[in-house]
Amino acid sequence: MVCMGNICRSPMAEGMLRKALQEAGLDRDVEVDSAGTHAYHVGSPPDPRAQEAVRQRGVDISNLRGRQVADADFERFDYILVMDGDNYDQLVRRAPARHHGKIRRLLSFSAKYPDRDVVDPYYGGPKGFEENLDMIEDAVRSLIREIVGAPHEKKEKNRPGS
């Protein structure tokens, strides 16, 4: 999961995906991580408003720490899911062409919001975090269905996120 600073949207998405994977019995088979395209908040915990919003949905992300996307992530993960078009464009410019197909907008999995971005709630109020989570939850449900239906070798792990 990738956003700009890795303290709001992508850690919320990481937490919600981890919860959905656990509920689906896939948490031991799928590796999930989040990162930012910028290094603004490397080492920082998620924004307190993001932590509170996901906590109200039964998820604890307080142990996560911001990190920046690493070149190795393009090899390591099968899915690199971005929150918006700006982050998508940055990663496509940065990634080797053979990995471009891994980079997708998270909401491309959403039934309700397929043509939208998960807008950065950092400068807004709590409502923005709640709206983001509604979008993220919808997309994660479809992502789980794709992972379950996606062919993969038993030895290999499908690895959403980054």
Instruction: Establish if 127 belongs to a structural domain.
Output: yes
Crossing angle for the helix pair 48-55 and 126-149, nearest 10 degrees? 60
Comparing 36 with 156, the larger pLDDT belongs to 36
Q: Which of 3, 67, 84, 138 is catalytic?
A: 3
Instruction: Establish if 99 belongs to a structural domain.
Output: yes
Q: Which of 84, 120, 138, 159 is catalytic?
A: 120
How far is the CA of 103 from the CAs of 8, 22, 37, 95, 125, in angstroms?
19, 24, 13, 9, 29
CA–CA gap between residue 9 and residue 36 (Å, rounded): 10
156: CB partners within 8 A, 6+ apart:
none
Instruction: Establish if 159 belongs to a structural domain.
Output: no
- H or E element at residue 11: helix 9-23
Instruction: Establish if 141 belongs to a structural domain.
Output: yes
Q: Which domain holds residue 50?
A: 2-149
CA–CA gap between residue 149 and residue 143 (Å, rounded): 10
Question: Tokens 């915990």, residue?
Answer: 45
For residue 155, the SS3 value is coil
Q: Which residues pair with 36 in a beta bridge?
A: 3, 68
CA–CA gap between residue 51 and residue 12 (Å, rounded): 8
Percentage of the chain surpassing pLDDT 70?
Answer: 92
Instruction: Decide if 120 is catalytic.
Output: yes
Instruction: Decide if 3 is catalytic.
Output: yes
List phi, psi (to 5°) of 84: -155, 175
Instruction: Establish if 21 belongs to a structural domain.
Output: yes
- pLDDT tens string 51-84: 999 999 999 999 999 999 999 999 999 999 999 9
Q: The whole model's pTM is what?
A: 0.91
Instruction: Establish if 162 belongs to a structural domain.
Output: no
- pLDDT tens string 119-152: 999 999 899 999 999 999 999 999 999 998 865 4
Nearest to residue 76, comparing CAs of 33, 26, 44? 33
Residue 60's CATH number: 3.40.50.2300
Q: Which of 8, 9, 47, 49 is catalytic?
A: 9
Q: How many structural domains is the chain composed of?
A: 1
